[in-house]
A and B are shown apart, each in its own frame.
Chain A
């Protein structure tokens, strides 16, 4: 080998390690600006964000504030769906003190564990991740030595170790559900990429930082049995070109629990998820009620989801008025 060959122009360019160090510095600076999950903020902060922005966005943010009261941002590091889900679900248990729900989800976790083992995962590869999540679940129930309040929950969800381990546990669960029901998920995966189900799980589910799509959300919701609402804030308008109602899609687990509003409500803006807070019943009484959109039909693209939901919502609203 001729490692001493004369230096070419590549010597003038920044080296890979310098470029990477620069990227890491940018990411670290971003991280300081925003925790894994931020503080709860009134929805008016969104209106401020789009003040000078696209008119469709502005109208939609205005509509959004009729149904939702607050937002909690998640860091945009590719894990935002899972981090948002983690916080939103744990906060829901903390507020409802619903021990039966914790026991129910623990049974689903046992099923996921069996699925992983059946798929050939060795238990030691996922047990640490599983037990960290179960610890968090137990900690949001009242009356235990390890019980947390909302401030401590926020603190834990901002802890890199806890947050990353729970995110990774969700990635295991999601991957196992997709592979267990490969026939169901295959057409949707082919619509997103050219990968087989197994390749998709290896490349787009199991590595940290890989962004989540409808496939991930459906799989996690089904596996844990937790309904998830995703509210879409994008530029799309209804079929008439004017409708700026905000569309949402409810992912309802196969073994459907019948709820009006799912315990986890996320705001989706292209490429990113944050947590939304629904107005309380009293706040809602003067606002047109949005009915549930069934989550069983999985949609391949956000555009389709939005268009479909526009139709369904229009229909529902026509019924309601």
Chain B
């Protein structure tokens, strides 16, 4: 499993300030079903996800890795599943997630918390556990450890 990151510059002052504020807000009011694993690395967050009760992923646990670019939040963070990614029609076996808000539709108005809520909602609305149809080809093309932000995504319908 590749957890490599793109070559990264350290956070700008404004990005670091912003992330501190997000972290404080998270500590007071974390999104339901998520737990931020405390480290001293502001630029990489590891977040535990608990599948929502009553869904296909109920009582399963997964891990998200969130890497922030130098100019966050103008630019989207890179968000992938690490360890065993959930089996889902929009999640590739290498942990990459096909979700528009992580790429083309990212807005600086979003937060880590709002990303988490979108990902949980994507998991919860799945009707079957399956990999995307193009999983093998896609994962093979990512072997050089490239970031999902370097993929030109064609977004699946948003019902799943």
Contacts and interface: CB of A to CB of B under 8 A. Distances in A.
B131 interface: yes
A258 interface: no
Interface string B118-142: 0000000000000100011101110
A110 B22 CA distance: 23
Interface residues of B, number: 29
Contacts of B74: 164-165, 168, 208
B107 A207 contact: yes
Given A206-B107, A207-B104, A124 B136 contact: no
Nearest to B101: A202
A65 to B, nearest CB: 38
A124 B151 contact: no
Contacts of B71: 161
Contact of A202 (B14, B105, B108, B143): B105
B25 interface: yes
Contact of B150 (A5, A16, A128): A16
A208 B141 CA distance: 29
B62 interface: no
A175 B109 CA distance: 10
A119 to B, nearest CB: 11
Given A3-B139, A3-B140, A16-B151, A124 B109 contact: no
Contacts of B21: 124
* Main DSSP-derived SS at the A contact region: helix
A175 B110 CA distance: 13
A33 interface: no
A208 B152 contact: no
A129 interface: yes
A129 B137 contact: no
A169 to B, nearest CB: 10
Given A1-B135, A20-B150, A128 B18 contact: yes
Given A168-B108, A208-B108, A10 B25 contact: no
A160 to B, nearest CB: 9
B146 interface: yes
A252 B136 CA distance: 55
A25 interface: no
B141 A15 contact: yes
B93 interface: yes
Interface string A199-222: 000110011100000000000000
Interface string A14-37: 011101110000000000000000
Contacts of B14: 128, 161
B50 interface: no
Interface of B: 14, 17-18, 21-22, 25, 71, 74, 93, 104-111, 131, 135-137, 139-141, 143, 146, 150-152
Given A124-B25, A206-B109, 17 more contacts: A1-B93, A3-B93, A5-B137, A16-B150, A17-B146, A17-B150, A122-B25, A122-B111, A124-B21, A124-B22, A125-B108, A128-B17, A128-B18, A203-B105, A206-B107, A208-B74, A208-B108
CB-CB nearest 8 A-B residue pairs: A206-B107, A17-B150, A124-B21, A207-B107, A206-B109, A16-B152, A1-B93, A17-B146
